[in-house]
């Protein structure tokens, strides 16, 4: 007997209880790339505004300064993102001060913050 997904043991289909509500649906995928700054403002739930980052060339380092990103070195979550110069939380980038690990979520917060890595 083969186990087919979405089917009962008798072969009948499981029916969905309800459709997704609009607030449950996934939005557009946001990928932050390396490049000249580019932002977008979205209206989110409750009429609030969220600023998204689509491209960025600088990273803010606390107690230091704003430095330019030269290159994306590695992304622990997905090695293919580093090849495409995608900025995510945890990404290690190369700057003039050395290696910096991104600590913010650029696609959610609209800013790139990081800490120096020794």
Residue 100, pLDDT score: 96
Average pLDDT score over residue span 47-60: 93
Average pLDDT score over residue span 7-26: 88
Residue 36, pLDDT score: 95
Residue 115 or residue 118, greater confidence: 115
Number of structural domains (the chain) is 1
Residue 98, pLDDT score: 92
**The 3-state secondary structure of the chain, one letter per residue:** CCCCCCECCCCCECCCCCCCCCCCCCCCCCCCEECCCEEEEEECHHHCEEEEEEEECEEECCCCCEEEEEEEEECCCCHHHHHCCECCCCCEEEECCEEEEECCCHHHHCCCEEEECC
18 within domain boundaries = no
What pTM does this model have?
0.77
7 within domain boundaries = no
**CATH code at position 82:** 3.10.290.70
Q: Quote the mean pLDDT of the chain.
A: 90
107 within domain boundaries = yes
56 within domain boundaries = yes
- Its domain, for residue 84, covers 33-116
Residue 10 has pLDDT above 80, yes or no: yes
24 within domain boundaries = no
């Amino acid at each position: 007997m083969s186990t087919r997904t979405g089917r009962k043991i008798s072969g009948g289909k499981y029916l969905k209880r309800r459709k997704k509500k609009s607030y449950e649906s996934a939005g557009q995928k946001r990928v932050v790339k390396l490049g000249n700054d580019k932002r977008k403002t979205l209206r989110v739930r409750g009429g609030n505004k969220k600023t998204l980052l689509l491209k960025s060339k600088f990273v803010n380092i606390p107690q230091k300064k704003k430095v330019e990103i030269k290159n994306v070195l590695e992304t622990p979550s997905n090695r293919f993102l580093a090849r495409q110069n995608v900025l995510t939380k945890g990404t290690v980038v190369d700057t003039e001060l050395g290696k910096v690990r991104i600590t913010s979520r650029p696609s959610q917060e609209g800013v790139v913050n990081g800490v120096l890595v020794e």
